[in-house]
A and B are shown apart, each in its own frame.
Chain A
Amino acid sequence: MTLALNGEEIGKKLAEAFPAAVVSSDKLNVLVDSKHLQPVAEYLKNTSGLEFDYLTFVTATDYLDYLEIVYRLVSLKNNHSLILKTRCHTRDNPVVPTVVNTWRAAYYQEREIFDLLGIRFEGHPDMRRLLLWEGFQGHPLRRDYL
């Protein structure tokens, strides 16, 4: 079984390494501040015992008050997984740092999120629409898009 790691424990570990990074954590997931996302990602990937070398999916959900980005990390070596979240509280031109440099798997998925939810990933090498055409207005997967 891929062990779903307890978010609270990981949250504590992260809080030691990056005191300001962890916003909250519960059994299922860890919510980090988007400003610290890149160092946290590097930490999760390279710390022994965690070694999240495999990013399964990146997606985002529009909760109207905020946009939440979800990362599911898996360690192929230790066979455990973690759900990492980050939030962005603006709806006009929200920006989140990219994790492409840590996990290349995010390459298309971040482009897709930009396309469908309008979250710009800073530092992404090719931030363009993926599924819809270039002149498309709006971001369809937002809840207020009709």
Chain B
Amino acid sequence: MPIKTEPFYLNIGPQHPSTHGVFRLRVALDGEVVVGVEPIIGYLHRGIEKLAETRTYTQTIPFTDRLDYLSSMTNNLAYCLAVEKLGGLKVPERAEYIRVIFSEIMRISSHMMAVGFFLNDLGAMMTPVLYMWREREKIMDMFEMVCGQRLLYNYMRIGGVSQNLPDDFMPAVKKFLAEMPKYIDEYDQLLAQNEILLARSKGVGILSKDTAIGIGASGPVLRASGVKWDIRKMDPYSIYERFDFEVPTGDTGDCYDRYWVRMLEIRQSVRILEQAIAQIPEKGAVCADVPQFFRPPRGEAYGYLEGPKGNIGFYIVSDGSIAPYRLHIYPPTLINITALSDMVIGWKVADLIIIFGSIDVVLGEIDR
């Protein structure tokens, strides 16, 4: 006689240690096996897009910090790129270099958080996170030097950056770059061949190449699936065409590849930083002459860049006034979780957590 069974619904989140914010997953379980998953978002929705309609262009920059708060600099930059595209502004040479330097430092920091918390989701009880934080702490110090903030920087400005680099910044970043490869080696030594990490993440949560392109995934998630697509290389913004770096890709698109691509990208970021530090002009303006109440001409522009989490973009429609008529934020992590159900169905609850962790979401960005 067949036994009548029904799925067991488990509500993961919005308050849960591994949802990286206030994310809610409604999971249908058959024993431990996930048979259905439905992400429910919006718990952190602050209406930034609507708020921006009543602020001047410059006043919106602090909002962008609060999107993906682990990579505020690149959010700032993406927004500024969009406004500059809209207004046809030229950014001074030194400011371009400063922007690249901070984007790459931000990428290192964000990837380290991603990898650390991925391991935390695997159950490695804070140790990897705290090892990653050792280096992130130095990055935070550097950010503090230039803008006085450690998390929400508000540093980029339309047409440049808010202030020049302080004198003690360059020695700090040089020291950091000299030490960093050694630390990355250490992380790889500790993690890359860990038997349990391999058993848990190899082949788990595969996002196939076609699905990844179909859902419009971007960033490390897309590259881990084997698509060699990096906006820094394919559509260079700022001055990325001047730097020599590689775009690492994965083979299968499993959780391990997503972890590994991030580690490789940290190395590439260090490479870019070394070149940028060597090339940066000693003197020069760091911000173009932009009026406080900047009025871009009528029109629309889409500014985007390769953020740590993926392709972050700002679509701005201007009606010629001091405030954007419409600001749309393109959130890479929301797009990356589109195929979550494809990736997790059939795996266990524990895998669901690490697959979600390997995508590296930040709820500030998903919910806006």
Do these two chains interact? Answer: yes
Residues of A within 8 A of B (CB): 1-2, 53-57, 59, 61-62, 70, 72, 76, 79, 83, 103-105, 107-109, 116, 129-133, 140-141
Interface of B is mostly: mixed
Which chain B positions have C-beta within 8 A of A141? 49-50, 326
Determine the distance from Cα of A15 to Cα of B367 in the docked complex, in whole angstroms: 39
Which chain B positions have C-beta within 8 A of A140? 47, 50
Contact call A104/B234, Cβ cutoff below 8 A? no
Contact call B216/A103, Cβ cutoff below 8 A? yes
Which chain A positions have C-beta within 8 A of B256? none
Which chain B positions have C-beta within 8 A of A72? 302, 315
Determine the distance from Cα of A54 to Cα of B313 in the docked complex, in whole angstroms: 15
Q: Which listed residue, B50, B215, B235, touches A107 by the CB 8 Å rule?
A: B215
Count A-B pairs with CB separation below 8 Å: 75
Q: Which listed residue, A2, A57, A79, A130, touches B328 by the CB 8 Å rule?
A: A57
* Interface assignment of B317: CB less than 8 Å from any CB of chain A: yes
Q: Which listed residue, A2, A105, A131, A132, touches B214 by the CB 8 Å rule?
A: A105
Contacts known (A56-B216, A105-B338); A76 close to B367, Cβ less than 8 A: no
| Residue with the highest number of chain B CB atoms closer than 10 Å, among A57, A79, A105, A132 | A57
Determine the distance from Cα of A56 to Cα of B302 in the docked complex, in whole angstroms: 11
Contacts A70-B315, A104-B338 supplied; 20 other A-B pairs, CB < 8 Å? A2-B235, A57-B313, A57-B328, A59-B330, A62-B326, A70-B300, A79-B234, A79-B235, A103-B216, A104-B211, A104-B216, A104-B339, A107-B215, A108-B334, A108-B335, A130-B41, A131-B45, A131-B367, A133-B42, A140-B47
Closest beta carbon of chain A to B213's beta carbon, Å: 6
> Digit string of B94-107 for contact with A (CB within 8 Å is 1, else 0)?
00000000000000
Determine the distance from Cα of A34 to Cα of B344 in the docked complex, in whole angstroms: 35
| Residue with the highest number of chain A CB atoms closer than 10 Å, among B49, B215, B231 | B215
Contacts known (A130-B42, A131-B368); A103 close to B335, Cβ less than 8 A: no
Contact call B213/A56, Cβ cutoff below 8 A? no
18 pairs, CB–CB < 8 Å, chain A vs chain B: A1-B235, A1-B236, A2-B234, A2-B235, A53-B213, A55-B216, A56-B311, A57-B313, A61-B326, A103-B214, A103-B216, A104-B215, A108-B338, A129-B42, A130-B41, A131-B367, A131-B368, A132-B42
* Interface assignment of B229: CB less than 8 Å from any CB of chain A: yes
Determine the distance from Cα of A54 to Cα of B335 in the docked complex, in whole angstroms: 12
Q: Which 9 pairs between the two chains have the least Cβ-Cβ distance?
A: A105-B216, A2-B235, A131-B42, A59-B328, A57-B330, A131-B45, A61-B326, A104-B214, A104-B215
* Interface assignment of B243: CB less than 8 Å from any CB of chain A: no
Closest beta carbon of chain A to B39's beta carbon, Å: 9
Contact call B315/A107, Cβ cutoff below 8 A? no
Determine the distance from Cα of A143 to Cα of B335 in the docked complex, in whole angstroms: 26
Contacts known (A1-B236, A62-B326, A108-B338); A76 close to B213, Cβ less than 8 A: yes
Residues of B in contact (CB 8 Å), total 34
Which chain A positions have C-beta within 8 A of B41? 130-131
Contact call A59/B42, Cβ cutoff below 8 A? no
Nearest-CB residue, chain A, relative to B228: A76
* Interface assignment of B187: CB less than 8 Å from any CB of chain A: no
Nearest-CB residue, chain B, relative to A140: B50
Closest beta carbon of chain A to B43's beta carbon, Å: 9
Determine the distance from Cα of A132 to Cα of B44 in the docked complex, in whole angstroms: 10
Which chain B positions have C-beta within 8 A of A104? 211, 214-216, 338-339
Determine the distance from Cα of A129 to Cα of B40 in the docked complex, in whole angstroms: 10
Determine the distance from Cα of A33 to Cα of B41 in the docked complex, in whole angstroms: 32
Q: Which listed residue, B215, B302, B313, B317, touches A105 by the CB 8 Å rule?
A: B215
| Residue with the highest number of chain B CB atoms closer than 10 Å, among A132, A133, A141 | A141
Which chain B positions have C-beta within 8 A of A54? 213, 216
Nearest-CB residue, chain B, relative to A29: B300
Determine the distance from Cα of A55 to Cα of B330 in the docked complex, in whole angstroms: 12
Which chain A positions have C-beta within 8 A of B69? none
> Digit string of B305-334 for contact with A (CB within 8 Å is 1, else 0)?
000000101010100000001101010001
Nearest-CB residue, chain A, relative to B45: A131
Which chain A positions have C-beta within 8 A of B236? 1
Which chain B positions have C-beta within 8 A of A108? 334-335, 338
Q: Which listed residue, B227, B325, B328, B338, touches A76 by the CB 8 Å rule?
A: B227
